[in-house]
Structures are given as structure tokens and as C-alpha cells.
Amino acid sequence: MAGKRNVVIDTVQAIPVEEQAVEIVERKGVGHPDSIADGIAEAVSRALCAEYVHLFGTVLHHNTDQVEVVGGRSRPMWGGGEVIKPIYILLSGRATSMVDGEWIPVHRIAIEAAKDFLWENFRHLDVESHVIIESKIGHGSVDLKHLFEQRKNGIPLANDTSLGVGYAPLTETEALTLETERFLNSDAFKREYPAVGEDIKVMAVRKNNKIELTIAAAMVDSELNNVQEYLETKAAIFETVRELAENITDKEVEIHVNTADDIENGVVYLTVTGLSAEAGDDGSVGRGNRVNGLITPARGMSLEAAAGKNPVNHVGKIYNVVANQIAKDIYENVSGVHEAYVYLLSRIGKPIDDPEIIHVKLLPEKGTKLKEVQPEAEEIVHKHLDNIMDVVDKLINGEIRVF
């Protein structure tokens, strides 16, 4: 297969992102409404995969990448308020619900998976009273189902013509943005500061050698008795991120936390559940982080909503994961590569290990010529595509994060 693939490797005609005057990076944390939609979509897909494998020994056609989170209404108060209108979550998409005349309880599986995701990730959300979940998942398309069931030499056929994009390495700004949210939402941080909710968004802008971080962190009213405790928690976030930044970058870092607060007029980011979705903030699958966990307008990106797409032959999911893995492998293991970008384009009906085109764009280090790194880079491309079913298995088992 390696000799038959359409691989094009050329050079990046650009200034390295780290050296550009301005860089903007965003991450929406696990509790952001868009990330909630992503997480539920992925949880439903994994639950369906498990049920299909249990009943039939294989994953059947499904795409559950249509989830809407409709914000509710709440009345937060120091010491504990209440949710007065539940968050509404609509599960949609398509799934195989009948095999040989036997019905599969798709709606029950989907709703249970959504509830499990919410219980596992949000400490102050009472799923039974704070949330309404409805499933409108429909039966799969006949044409797509037929395509899904076809394979060539054991390799699934792509069910879409789609683009996957990946790059490496992360810049310091990207790494800081990613790690800031992950640490603030870590179990260790939450044990020390339980008042910090899970809805955390980090926006970073680097101007030359200065990084400005703007952090929006929902606070939980039942963990705070007054505004002084709120301000102390904000200060703890600031100090924690300052220390984290010192371990990631030598650049000057300016940190802002909950900048919409107006203390004199009693306006603070206070919630009952630690989620802005309780108070009118809505979310949709694919509107947030890309597969690498970031939103990076300075980079090439695919607009595919990866979460919830079936992990066996939906290239909108698989190729974004594989493209990032290839780029990371090239950067880390091919000497003389400063940046690597990978674009995988599928054609519907072709085996997923044989993209229509594989475009690798490399930024060689000074003194390195493209021809010196090209053979190793191409070898890495073939290695990853030869082993693409390993990625499929890991996606099925939930071992790879896609948002």
C-alpha cells in the first residue's frame, strides 16, 4: 500500500508561528456548553459501540454528532442558590436501531450515556433535577449503512469526503492555554479549591514576547459564603496559573480572571452548578475545541465536528486524529524539522488507510533542505496509515480525546 498512496511533501512558506507578532489561542473547558455537547456526543457514540459489539461482535453504523445544549435559568446566592429552569439537552443524529427484525434500545442507551457523562464530570450538577435529556436519534441512512458494512481487505471504506488537519509542535502560548484549563479542572485543584466550577474558558493572545491570558471561571455558590471568599478564590486561580506559566514559558505573562466582575455593584461570576449552561448559555457539537483540544486561528484547522462521529469509518473524526499523530511523530523524530503540518483528504468509498491525498508541509530548520527530511517524513506517514485500525480501536474504547 505504501507505494500506491498519494503523498505530497513540500515546504511551509511562512514565518514560524512562535516568531509571528501576534498569536491567538482559545480553549473551552469541559464545562463549557460547547464542550458539554461534545462530551455527551462522544459518550453516546462509545456507549453504542459497546452495545453493538456486545450484541453483534462489531460496531454498526451511527453518528451521534448532533447534540444541542439549551441553557436553563438559575438563582445563585452566597451559600447556595437554586436552578429554577433545567438545562435542556437534545440528542440527535443517526444510529442503527434494528438488526434482523430485532430492535436495539438506542434511545435508552443514549440517555443513560449522557447522564453518566454529566454525573462523572460535574460535581455540583444534579442530573435528575437540573437537566432534561431527550433523544431524537433517528435510523441510519440506507446508503451510508451499506457503505459502512463494506470493507476492502479488512479496511473500512470512508463514509464521507472530508479533511483532517494536524500540526506540531504546540507553541508556548498553545501549551499554556491547554495546560491552564486542564490544571484548573484537575482533581487535585478541585480538592483544594472546590468553589471553582468546571466551566472554564481560557483565551490567550501573544503580542511579540508577552502573553495575556483571560480566564473565565464559573464559581459555585454553595462553596462560598461571601464576596471576600469569592475574591480569595480568584486570587488562588491567579497565583496557580502564574506558577504554571513559569514552568512553560520565559515570556512575560499577564493574567486576568473573571474580568466582567463589578464588585461594587455586586456583579460576579457566581453559579449554582459551576456551569454557565444553567443560566442561558447554549452549546453545540463542533463549535468548540478541535481534536487537539485547542482553537487556533493561526493554524490550519478542519471545521469537522469530530465528537460523536462513528470511530470506524468516519474520516471527519479519524483523519483529524491521525493527522495530529503524524505531525507530532515527524516533529519529534525527524531531525531538522521546525514545524510540521499534515492534511489528509478522503474520498467517500475509498479505504480509510488510502486517503485521496496526503499533504505534508514542513518548515525545515535553518540549514536543512527539504530533500534531507522528506524520506523519513514519508516513511512516518505510511507507518501511521498502515496502522490506522489501531487508532480506530482506541477511539472505540475511548482512549483518545477528540475535544
216: domain range? Answer: 172-284
Instruction: Read off the C-alpha cell for 91.
Output: 440528542
Q: Is 317 part of a structural domain of the chain?
A: yes
Specify whether the CB–CB gap between 66 and 220 falls below 8 A.
Answer: no
**DSSP symbol at 278:** G
Specify whether the CB–CB gap between 75 and 221 falls below 8 A.
Answer: no
Same domain, 116 and 200: no
pLDDT at residue 122 is higher than 70: yes
CA distance 223 to 241: 21
State the CATH number of the domain containing residue 366: 3.30.300.280
- Strands 151-152 and 196-207: what pairing? unpaired
State the SS3 of 307-329: CCECCCCCHHHHHHHHHHHHHHH
Question: pLDDT, tens digit, for every residue of 254-288?
Answer: 999 999 999 999 999 999 999 999 998 999 999 99
Domain boundary among 250, 284, 318: 284
Region of poorest pLDDT, from 67-76, 85-94, 152-161, 308-317: 152-161
Instruction: Read off the C-alpha cell for 313.
Output: 469509518
| Chain length of the chain | 403
Query: What average pLDDT score do residues 196-219 get?
Result: 98
Q: What is the pTM of this model?
A: 0.94
CA distance 214 to 176: 12
Question: pLDDT, tens digit, for every residue of 333-375?
Answer: 999 999 999 999 999 999 999 999 999 999 999 999 999 999 9
CA distance 196 to 198: 7
pLDDT at residue 67 is higher than 70: yes
Same domain, 184 and 200: yes
Domain boundary among 237, 268, 284: 284
Per-residue pLDDT, 3: 58
CB-CB neighbours of 267 under 10 Å: 11
The pair phi, psi for residue 364, each rounded to 5°, is: -70, 150
- Per DSSP, helices labelled H in 122-184 are 127-130, 142-149, 172-184
pLDDT at residue 137 is higher than 50: yes
Same domain, 165 and 313: yes
Q: Is 105 exposed, middle or buried (0-12, 13-18, 19+ CB in 10 A)?
A: exposed
Same domain, 132 and 80: yes
Same domain, 165 and 195: no
Query: What average pLDDT score do residues 13-21 get?
Result: 93
**Helices 370-386 & 388-396 angle (0-180, nearest 10):** 50
Same domain, 214 and 145: no
Number of domains in the chain: 3
Q: Is 24 part of a structural domain of the chain?
A: no
Q: Is 27 part of a structural domain of the chain?
A: no
Same domain, 126 and 194: no
Q: Is 28 part of a structural domain of the chain?
A: no
pLDDT at residue 325 is higher than 70: yes
Same domain, 277 and 323: no
Four-CA torsion 56, 58, 64, 65, nearest 10 degrees: 180
Is residue 169 reached through a cis peptide bond, with omega within 30 degrees of 0 on the bond before it? Answer: yes
Same domain, 119 and 212: no
pLDDT at residue 140 is higher than 70: no
Q: Is 351 part of a structural domain of the chain?
A: yes
Average pLDDT, the chain: 95
Specify whether the CB–CB gap between 256 and 17 falls below 8 A.
Answer: no
Per-residue pLDDT, 144: 53
Q: Is 299 part of a structural domain of the chain?
A: yes
Q: Which helix (H) or strand (E) holds 65?
A: strand 62-70
Output Rg (C-alpha) for the chain, integer angstroms.
Answer: 23
Question: pLDDT, tens digit, for every residue of 367-381?
Answer: 999 999 999 999 999
CB neighbours of 39 closer than 8 A, spacing ≥ 6? 30, 117, 121, 307, 403
Q: Is 91 part of a structural domain of the chain?
A: yes
Domain boundary among 238, 253, 284: 284
Same domain, 246 and 386: no
pLDDT at residue 150 is higher than 80: no
Same domain, 279 and 292: no
State the CATH number of the domain containing residue 271: 3.30.300.340
- 184 vs 300, more confident: 184
Same domain, 166 and 315: yes
